Structure 1
């Protein structure tokens, strides 16, 4: 069957897909618009309806934060919103550690929870709560760094829902303090109620969301009635269980939620590790949250030791390892020589907490030698954390080599580019399993907002056939680019010198994934190709539609020389291939190649 039409034609700043309120990508359709975004140019920034959620504060979150600030803040403060007390405290601690001269009380926290006297049964199911961290305005970039690196900020759907409660006077202050550390002393009596009058005071200039819940649904009885689906909040726990079963590989049937938990286990696709079950899977609000909290939990379990980052990593993974804890040893090329150097350092007696790597890496699609890494870990006593986002478990089985497998569900697991999510999986046969299991039992918090879980469950139902088609399309595009003399280099796991390492982990029916990158012989050629490529263009990957970007410009604009020092060219283009008709995709890429001037 032919695939969907190629998604293209979005204006600068439009959501991808268009008119998607909670989209996780945004249209930057030309090379100039990508540079303009990174430079903060007004002609781009003024048109941004959204952005990638960890880098761009969603408009719904921004509106809610403004309402809270106007009610409880001062002109010299800004505010960020988090879903739990623990996360708010971590943000406060991070700001105070980064800005050493801050006065005591400069960072404070206000907690908002549903009024127990007005709480409906459905509100009890979702436990709506917001922890607002107030800090001096001049330190916005520091607070934003925590938001970006941790991935633990509130989701746009949580903000939208809780903002509705706030406006209806259904939230109360649980605690208000100038000393965030006092939150550890336990809850106080419920205090000041936020009335409709006080919540709206001074907010006449705030534009209300077109998607605010109807007044008769303010208590949250149905979260999706405005879409005609009547999906009750109480089904969220089943949605999360179904997601876990799909991540485990035990549920691969494309069935509705009410049938999903009745379907028998798919033995062929279940992760091939003895003793593994859905109980070893933990859901997080974003993929970066799964990485951040894995690193944090490992330090709780095994102490504050340096970690190892092996291979060129996604930007925030390295920042987490560098900024949170005692630092990390970085092997950015992920080469055999790097492993040799690491082994030499280990032989000298130096101890490490963990080794983080991606399988395959982004954007060069190289695959680490997990067999050797596992041997080194067993011999010298460190934890192996593998990010399988790019490979995905239908194509590769990395769990036998890892202690923890992390993934961004936002990407191909969802596909629809309208919801965030992440997961961490513990290997029941790993040498540290019992220790890690105990640590996760008291460190893990389920902060995955119910609406996001419901959307994620629905999106992931057809995960299996989507992966199969994406594998086919990506290989076809890879072949087109590799055979064209105007293309300097194509990066794809199948045609990488590290292919043998990939194939060791490749599943019986697995392919090489939907992500590939390419470089050209000059910037002019790269710009000509990109500007004439008729696909959607913006951040993120794993979408059901083909999505292209000048990846290094977007991810490493402030450190382009540093990226090039590890073999990642600044003008590299990255393509996340979708479900479209294969012939149409091939023609689209050929037309873009034809736009490169003849020399």
Structure 2
């Protein structure tokens, strides 16, 4: 069999040659380390990446233009945001107010260089997901003549793009279209939900948000921004601890937020028991369904609020940043749609047009990926170099998902693996695309702990914490694609000879 997959150079966009790509190739572990250490050499090579973490080249060019246009002193950094509303939010939080009158159809904030304030502002924008769209920046720069071409891509018609996205989600989640709202990223959707819950529940004397599971880091950061009190339960398989906590504090809890399954260990909570606990104490349940997708797990009987990063499986091509809030009509908060939706930032029309084109294959894509995942898991179980395989429907999770799985052949398209060989020997010798993100039609590998928790890897205290939450340092998260399964397996087979 010939090699289906080829090496992708460090710094190449994923997908390749796509200016709006949300991932970037890091083909060797040393590339990842250099990126985390921010070495000058790697910064020369990696020019773009996940837009909430790496400033897009067009946004850099836009900031340079605006600095000149408004005669901004060199002592200030120009930071662009998705809206004026976002500027007001950041300004109020960090007591920053522009001293220059600025008139643009998006947000701009001027932050003094050489201060801790700048990093705080950039971090908050990252967590709240109020970044300006790269497609918006592209259009703006092109109309000014600052770039010569627009990226060629297939787009749905402007008049029907949003309806295609919302109708697809409404059908998948079995909800009315009015209960669904789009945000410019999955994180902005989560941010909006957390702000709304805080606003609603604080009037009811409920001030504690429970994070059930070791959630995605930015989700936890948003909770910390908006809640004086939060409680983290790192193990979703241990509901006894949560139940004991709720006996004392249940009527002070504003909501419980969790991922199904968890990232990257693919653990699945006993959702029926969790729902029973929520009902007992009248606690809204927020579920991040990005990994599960509505096509693998039917959670409509359990969640009050769904949040999904549409950047992942719904897009499938890693070239649109978008998220969605889906309110469940069956539960108590569905009548408060305006409160949940009002905190979302605007979504640029061309991003909607691109996602509308891609989301039409959402269900087909998920089913193909699911089939490939099941076959790959069966192969990996036979590999002598594999230490442990984490996947959604493993035996340890079986009793927790049996009532919610749509059919026995549905596998969430993520598998995480540890190895009996050094990480570099495995990671460096696989020719799949390698970088951040997931849910793509092309198989995509990520050394999860290195990219998500590098600060913990490099400290003894951090190492001990990762052991405490059972997150292996040398774990690779595999997002399985739609390529021929025999070719995916063949790429792994090559490792047997290393």
Tell whether the structures are fold-level matches, with TM greater than 0.5: yes
**Within-5 A mapping of 1:284-299:** 284-299=183-198
**2:67 maps to which residue?**
69
Q: 1:312 is matched with which residue?
A: 214
Structure 2 residue aligned with 1:366:
267
Q: Does 1:334 align with 2:334?
A: no
Say if 1:591 and 1:109 are closer, same or farther in 2 by CA, change over 3 A: farther
Match of 2:433 in 1: 536
Choose from 158, 163, 168 the match for 1:246. Answer: 168
Which residue pairs with 2:460 in the alignment?
none
Cα distance in 1 between the residues matched to 2:373 and 2:474: 21
Task: Please show how residues 291-440 of structure 1 align to structure 2 within 5 Å.
Answer: 291-303=190-202, 305-336=207-238, 339-349=239-249, 351-434=252-335, 436-440=336-340
Query: 1:295–1:110: structure 2 CA closer, same or farther, 3 Å change rule?
Result: farther
Q: Is contact 2:91-2:97 (8 Å) kept?
A: no
Does 1:143 pair with 2:40?
no
Aligned-partner Cα distance in 2 for 1:481–1:419: 31
Q: Secondary structure at the match of 2:315?
A: coil
Number of the residue aligned with 1:16: 14
Contact 1:10/1:27 (CA < 8 Å) preserved in 2? yes
* Counterpart Cα distance in 2 of 1:210 and 1:10: 27
**How far did residue 152 of structure 1 move?**
1.4
Q: Which residue does the alignment assign to 1:192?
A: none
The 3 A distance-change label for structure 1 pair 289 and 430 is: same
Query: Do 2:127 and 2:221's aligned partners in 1 also have CA atoms closer than 8 Å?
Result: yes
CA RMSD of aligned residues (A): 2.3
2:471 matched to 1:568?
yes
Out of 37, 40, 48, the position equivalent to 1:39 is 37
Aligned-partner SS, 1:410:
coil
Closer, same or farther in 2 for the Cα pair 1:111/1:299, shift >3 Å? farther
Residues 413-468 of structure 1, C-alpha deviation per residue, up to 9 Å, x if partnerless?
Answer: 1111111111110011112222x324236x25561110000000111112222111
1:154 corresponds to which of 132, 136, 161: 132
Q: In 2, Cα distance between the equivalents of 1:57 and 1:295?
A: 25
In structure 1, what is the Cα distance between the partners aligned to 2:278 and 2:224? 20
1:72-114 CA-partner distances (Å, limit 9, x unpaired): 3221111221222221112223334xxxxxxxx566685534x
The aligned residue for residue 88 of structure 1 is 87
Question: TM-score normalised to the size of structure 2?
Answer: 0.92
Deviations 1:292-340 (A, max 9, x none): 111111112222722111112111111111222224211112222xx22
8 Å CA contact retained: 2:59, 2:137:
yes
On the 8 A contact 2:5/2:491 being kept in 1, the answer is: no
In our comparison, the structure showing a higher alpha carbon Rg is 1
Q: How many residues align?
A: 485
Deviates more, 1:298-307 or 1:388-397: 298-307
Unaligned runs of 5+ in 1: 97-104, 114-128, 169-207, 213-225, 250-269
